[in-house]
Amino acid sequence: MSRIRLKAHSPFAPSKTGCFSVAAALLASALAFTSPASAQSLSDKLMQSMGNDLRKLNPLNNQDRPVLKPENKIPQRTLPKPQDAPSPSGNANFDFYVLSLSWSPSYCADNGNRSNARQQCGTGRNYGFIVHGLWPQYDRGFPESCDHRQANDTVPRDIVSSLSDIMPSAGLMRHEWRKHGTCVGISQRDYFSTLGKAYQAVTVPPALRNVASPRNVDPQLVEKAFIAANPGLTGDAIAVTCNRRRLQEVRICMDKGLKFRSCGEVDRNSCRSRSVTLLPNR
């Protein structure tokens, strides 16, 4: 298939790296995922790819899931409350959203020494997948920086605080609002509320939440694990990207109602490597 231009969202530009060999049987099994039984097989292969120490985090086998103690449960977020009358901004005539989830250890490996990365990459910041952004897209192309009147808006502290566990950088939030949020056609507060709801609509497979040591993984198995964990998500609605032979981002396409939808342009920019490094976040 021919490549169609997709914007490079700094600092996470997609890249196609060289391939590492992986057993043909593993790839064939991953691509044959069509039933609960094959889902279990896929899960086993993903666990083998990542190491047997992650088998207890199997996203597809309820019997293998650890019982979470109250102190270990994922905290509930209080999302920014929508305004009663959202003020339109920019051009809201887009086709769908892309929710971009960045694997934080990969970003911090390249950018952790920057002063503006301390909130995300400082000592004790053991983030896994965080929200890079919620991007309005056309079926071909994309809008950006749509309303210069709002381009210099700061993000209120209450919004920054409410999303700090999934978007741990006030600077990133400000950038995403200026470049992408102003093209959605709603207020800043509503945009970040929508971003939070989009994140809540996606289940990150437990095996990809807490990684204790570097692992070599097949990006296609990562994609299949997300599909298995999210009913309704299909292979043409998700893309796994890589950079410098590291897992970089998972990008999921949603309609304006935050339901999964296909997006060929995004899907065609998936990582082409058969093996990439998943850096630890613990």
pLDDT at residue 19 tops 70? no
Percent of the chain with pLDDT over 90: 55
| Phi and psi, residue 48, nearest 5° | -65, -40
Environment class of 192 (CB within 10 Å of its CB; exposed 0-12, middle 13-18, buried 19+): buried
pLDDT at residue 58 tops 50? no
- The pLDDT mean for the chain works out to 77
Give the 3-state DSSP-derived string for the chain, with helices as H, strands as E and coil as C: CCCCCCCCCCCCCCECCCCCCCCHHHHHHHHCCCCHHHHHHHHHHHHHHHCHHHHHHCCCCHHHCCCCCHHHCCCCCCCCCCCCCCCCCCCCCCCEEEEEEEEHHHHHHHHCCCHHHHHHHCCCCCCCEEEEEEEEECCCCCCCCCCCCCCCCCCCHHHHHHCCCCCCCHHHHHHHHHHCHHHCCCCHHHHHHHHHHHHHCCCCCHHHCCCCCCEEECHHHHHHHHHHHCCCCCHHHEEEEEECCEEEEEEEEECCCCCECCCHHHHCCCCCCCCEEECCCC
Domain map (residue ranges) of the chain:
24-59+88-278
pLDDT category at 44 given cuts 50, 70, 90 is: low
Environment class of 37 (CB within 10 Å of its CB; exposed 0-12, middle 13-18, buried 19+): exposed
Higher pLDDT, residue 77 or 274: 274
pLDDT category at 265 given cuts 50, 70, 90 is: confident
Q: Which of 5-9, 83-87, 109-113, 239-243 is predicted least confidently? A: 83-87
Percent of the chain with pLDDT over 70: 66
CATH superfamily, domain 24-59+88-278, is Ribonuclease T2-like (3.90.730.10)
Mean local confidence (pLDDT), 143-164: 87
- Given this model, what pLDDT does residue 149 score? 76
- Given this model, what pLDDT does residue 86 score? 38
pLDDT at residue 227 tops 60? yes
pLDDT category at 181 given cuts 50, 70, 90 is: very high
Q: Which of 83-92, 98-107, 156-165 is predicted least confidently? A: 83-92
pLDDT at residue 180 tops 70? yes
pTM to 2 decimal places:
0.71
- Given this model, what pLDDT does residue 41 score? 56
Higher pLDDT, residue 262 or 265: 262
pLDDT at residue 87 tops 60? no
Mean local confidence (pLDDT), 58-72: 38
Active site residues: 132, 176, 180
